[in-house]
Structure 1
Amino acid sequence: NLRKAKARIGALEDGDLRPEHVEKIATDLGVSEDDVISMNRRLSGGDASLNATVSADGEGSVEWQDWLEDEDADQAGAYEAQNELDSRRALLAQAMDVLNDREKDILTQRRLTEDTVTLEDLSSAYGVSRERIRQIEVRAFEKLQSKMRELAKDQGMLRAE
């Protein structure tokens, strides 16, 4: 503890410590001299309230805490965005049911993952040509789009045309 170490060596003054005191305390506590100086300055300084007024005469109505800004202040917006994302994910999962297993796999690996799988890799896995994989992907995407539009209209997410 810094206060006890200061008391042991007789360094009871407030403010900065003398270099020899800093060196002795750092050695005794097993910390760097910079840490001793930094902690001493923190302990020497008084605590300040965020509710204190900014002006020196105390007449102002602005407090220090009024200057703090919360970057995440829009809770309603964040909730709404998360809700929208959840709705879209649920809609996508529901629409994927229109695809067979091969179509789901190809579409997922080609368009719904960050590291897309090449046509070559999928053609090797399924034993068909790259062109056939591309055709399956396009057809599956069209089926998925159609089902998504249908579901979105049914759920009131899109206007009927």
Structure 2
Amino acid sequence: MADGTGERFRRLVSDLFTIGARMDAVRGRFAELVGVTPPQYTILMSVAQMEGAGGGATVRAVADQLHVSGAFVTAETGKLAKQGFVAKRPNPADGRSVLVALAPRGRRALEAALPHIRAVNDVFFGRLGAEEFERLAAGAARIVDASAAAVLLARALSAGARKS
């Protein structure tokens, strides 16, 4: 790394783990406010962001955005639909898929939690200026893109080490 010791890199990795753990803790509190599990909260927020004028988001689009399997999103949106947080309907553009949209209960729950979510996010990210935020967002997106390959490599190396 730049300092020749890797110290700055190790500090960055440690900071990223800390941020991830704290974001998970915050997500857990937001989920409690809404009345769902943390993964379901993340799915609800994704659906809310993506549903737009089309009246819903496909399971595949939600799964892709969250970097999880379509089967997981299907199972969780099924639970959310039973609880009245989302509504599912056939996709008129593609009969093989369904559209997921917020149901009135889901919309009300998110709207009620929104002031709390904004307040916490303002504290979490408030020390970043607009330019710093944009650089962080761009850098995070590049790391996310590379992370799938890193996970595959780690699995392969681990499997190879176990065979030795």
Scaled by the length of structure 1, the TM-score of the pair is: 0.28
Q: TM-score, normalised by structure 2?
A: 0.28
Higher relative contact order, chain-length normalized (CA < 8 Å, sep 6+)? 2
Question: Highest Rg: 1 or 2?
Answer: 1
Please identify which structure carries the higher strand content: 2
Structure with the largest fraction of helix: 2
